[in-house]
A and B are shown apart, each in its own frame.
Chain A
């Protein structure tokens, strides 16, 4: 069981009904939850809009231009999309693709 808190910013929230913060309980599964699997799960279950704006074109990971922070740390320092999600993790998706 994985209880995590999600945050969307920088325009990414527009893909999730403009909800900037949500808590989610990830259903148990045989494989450990990684960011990659989370992204796919989000696209399937919570995303309202064009999934291409969120998921990488080749189906794995996030679209280039979306930054991910796990507990306020750059995911690139934590193994990227293969990072194994822990209970009570706080994950932020910030889009850099929207205007500014």
Chain B
């Protein structure tokens, strides 16, 4: 018997309205392509919408100050390619007096391990070399933890690098689709109390602010953006078998049928905060909030462990959040 209280079919499969999709949603003229199954766009309107969204995502954080040095964290992803072009357009716009200026100094960096290389030029950033890492990663129990730890270490490295080279801001190239994957993975890892850090528009560590300007763009939207500028779209990288991979497949599968899935997920992320009743306890490893007074699942886990074995329980690693306790460190 289904024990659900309904809501199973609350999202009906989208059936595109032929008449609607033929018109551009902005200018109402003939559309050239369709996104999200239902929205028709013409080229100029769409590109304008993208540039506007990019500017406003950064602008509404109110975190950027004139003269800020911004490190743009690059890799070989679709988001990174789109970011390079969006910034190029932004720089050109700044040269004209008509548009509102976002006057910042942008440099591009590839950071791996704890070292990186800075590039000045948009073009040079497209050709990059692997930078070998000195820091040997301790082996993890499984690929989920390995992937997670790698991304955490990279983030720490970028922030450290930015700090050392006097950058006050870092732009990441995570798209809205990436963040939707990360949100589900985070929840499945027990990081529900840390969602603002992992999926929010900004994150602060050691005086450096990390921003996610592409978070309101789905992969489909950026793919279209690149194609309109005849830029080669980098092939999508998928993680090996892991929770990250399951989350990617799950979200992407739903997104294909229900194009509002990704936006709904990051909008939901915006409304969630950590349970702030407990005093500010921060995890040593990830630097995120470590809820210490939530009575529930963790205690249930302890009880199960007590009742299932006669071995003395290992002392809990102090100052680490539940999820980071699964990760082995040096």
Contacts of A99 in B (CB 8 A): 1-3
A82 to B106, CA, bound (A): 55
For the complex, give the distance between the alpha carbons of A19 and B1 in Å.
Answer: 20
Q: Say which size band chain B's interface belongs to.
A: under 10
How many residues of chain A get a CB closer than 8 Å to chain B's CBs? 2
**Count of chain A to chain B residue pairs whose CB atoms are closer than 8 Å in the complex:** 5
Chain A 77-100, CB within 8 Å of chain B: the 1/0 string?
A: 000000000000000000000011
Q: Quick one: CB contact mask for A40-65 with B, threshold 8 Å, 1 for yes?
A: 00000000000000000000000000
Return chain A residues, CB-CB under 8 Å to B1: 99-100
Least CB distance from B84 to A in Å reads: 37
- What is the CA–CA distance of A14 and B311 in the complex, to the nearest angstrom? 43
Q: Across the two chains, which residue of chain A brings its CB closest to B4?
A: A99
Q: Please indicate the chain B residues that have their CB under 8 angstroms from the CB of A100 in the complex.
A: 1, 3
In the complex, what distance in Å separates the CA atom of A100 from the CA atom of B4? 11
Per the bound structure, the CA–CA distance linking A100 and B2 in Å amounts to 7
Nearest residue, chain A, Cβ from B241:
A58
Within the complex, the shortest CB–CB distance from B248 to chain A, in Å, comes to 15
B1 (CB) vs chain A CBs: closest residue: A99
**Residue in B closest to A99 when the chains form the complex, CB atoms:** B1
Residue ID in chain A nearest B2 by CB atoms: A99
Q: Which residue of B lies closest to A98 (CB)?
A: B1
- Residues of A near B3 (CB, < 8 A) are 99-100
B:1-24 near A, CB below 8 Å: 1-3
- The complex places the Cα of A18 from the Cα of B91 at a distance, in Å, of 69
Residues from chain A with Cβ under 8 Å of B2 in the complex: 99
Once the chains are docked, how many angstroms separate the CA of A99 from the CA of B1? 3
State the 5 A-B residue pairs at the shortest beta-carbon distance, nearest first. Answer: A99-B1, A99-B2, A100-B1, A99-B3, A100-B3
> Could you name 5 residue pairs across A and B whose Cβ atoms are closer than 8 Å?
A99-B1, A99-B2, A99-B3, A100-B1, A100-B3
Interface set of A (CB-CB < 8 Å, partner B): 99-100
